[in-house]
Amino acid sequence: MIKKSLAVLSISAAFYIQAQDVSNVRNTLGVYSGSTNEGTAKFNAMAGATGALGGDATSLFNNPAGLGVAISSEITGTLLLSNYTNKSSLYGNSASYSNSNFNIGNVGGVATFQLLTETPWKFVNLGFNYSGESLDDYIETPGLNTIQFGNAINNLELTRHAYDRRGLKSKMNIGVGANYDNNIYFGAGLNFHTVELDQFDTAEFKVSDIATNKVFFEQFAKQYTPFSEKASGFSMSLGALGKLPGGFRWGAALETPTWWHIERVFNYYEINGSDGVAAENRNLRTPLKATLSAGYVASKNFSMNIDYTIGITKPHYKVRGAAETEMNDFFSDHANNVSEIKAGAEYRIKDFRIRGGYAFASNPVSPVSMSTYRQDGSDALATYNNLFASSRNTVGLGIGYNFKSFYVDAAYQHSNTKYNSPFLFGYNDGNINSSYYSANSSVDSESSAVADVQNKRNNFSVTFGWKF
């Protein structure tokens, strides 16, 4: 289709990732490099802090040596109700969106094998664990009538923008744990990851036809969007934990990078040509991670645990062209080595369990400077400390009850984060084409509008377990 190119009224310094949709950066940091947070209700209530305690299949998340702690076989299933709310604000105008999903959040099991020998090796246990996490995330930002684009035919005013991601992330873990003299435990795990997602990046403009004086609204799509991705990944983990005098415990684990193969199908648009659909493959290596844990088991009635996880390396794409080079340059310059600290505790009153936990994950992105639209529509260089992502706080609470071999656990988990979300940047200079396109025209902008986004997530989980 033939399109009229609409130039921005004020053009300043170009953005650093010129040809890439913002979603590529956000998904690399959050979807592909982020940790899995959906486990059993016990795991969720303790904010995932179980590295030095172990005992069930969710040990494969933090430290596979925890499988060796189990002394009875077990199978669990967890139902998950998840809800999120995004509030996006741009110079005093804001919009909120909320959505809920219900699915099977976790299925796991441990098979214990007692070694009837005279050696110090007591148990060799096998474990498996599956977790599923919704990737749905919709961010709608109100427009600003001072951000205008035009030519001799039409004038455009930005009325709204939306990032819309839909999909599912899953992780399958299998592993083995061994018990040495009821004091030291070793473990290893294989981790299989999958992602399926659809990503949209759209802008709406109020169009004023100068010749006819007619006004209408028109939808624009970012170049190379919408896109769909199917990805598979693989990683391995090793760990050890042990008991110390006085009820204290220690743990240490290492998880290799996840090696992802990403298959993408995307739409593309041309000013003087035909729109179409294309496909490409990408290979991504996410950070190597190390976890140190400390636990305390005062008695059969009380236990607590602290985990500290650090990303040792940074995300890195296998270079096949300019796109991967640009992203690697950005991550090399601006990606932080993410750290996460988690603390959780459990108190038992006969057959009742009361649990709580807190987790803090650091900001994955260092400060970034970019050309940004101001409230009056002009642009200027601005620096953002939380571009694309920021630190995350998570609080968990839960209860449980044991019916001898059967038990039921319930948990509530709340997390929140605030970050800056850029959009609207894109232009076509012949070599780079990253504009926004409608059926009739295109919009070029070498500056970004930057919204303030507050994300809140609430998860409710119920686990049914059987020990035998």
Task: Render 103-169 in DSSP notation, one character per residue.
Answer: EEEEEEEEEEEE--SSSSEEEEEEEEEEEEEE--EEEEEEEEEEEEEE-SSEEEEEEEEEEEEEEEE
Over residues 414-420, the mean pLDDT reads 97
Over residues 384-413, the mean pLDDT reads 96
- For 357-378, write each residue's pLDDT tens digit: 999 999 999 999 999 999 999 9
Q: Could you name the CATH architecture of 4-467?
A: Beta Barrel (2.40)
- For 289-330, write each residue's pLDDT tens digit: 999 999 999 988 999 999 999 999 999 999 988 889 989 999
Residue 225 contacts residue 275 (beta carbons within 8 Å): no
Q: Which of 36-40, 114-118, 267-271 has the lowest mean pLDDT?
A: 36-40
Beta strand pairing call for 368-373 and 316-317: unpaired
Percent of the chain residues past pLDDT 90, beyond the cut: 86
Per the prediction, the chain carries an average pLDDT of 93
CA dist., res. 131 & res. 137, Å (int): 19
CA dist., res. 117 & res. 184, Å (int): 17
- Predicted confidence band of residue 20 (pLDDT cuts 50, 70, 90): low
Q: What is the pLDDT of residue 151?
A: 75
CA dist., res. 445 & res. 14, Å (int): 9
Q: How far apart are the first and last CA of the chain?
A: 66
Q: What is the pLDDT of residue 26?
A: 93
Residue 105, both tokens: 């959040």
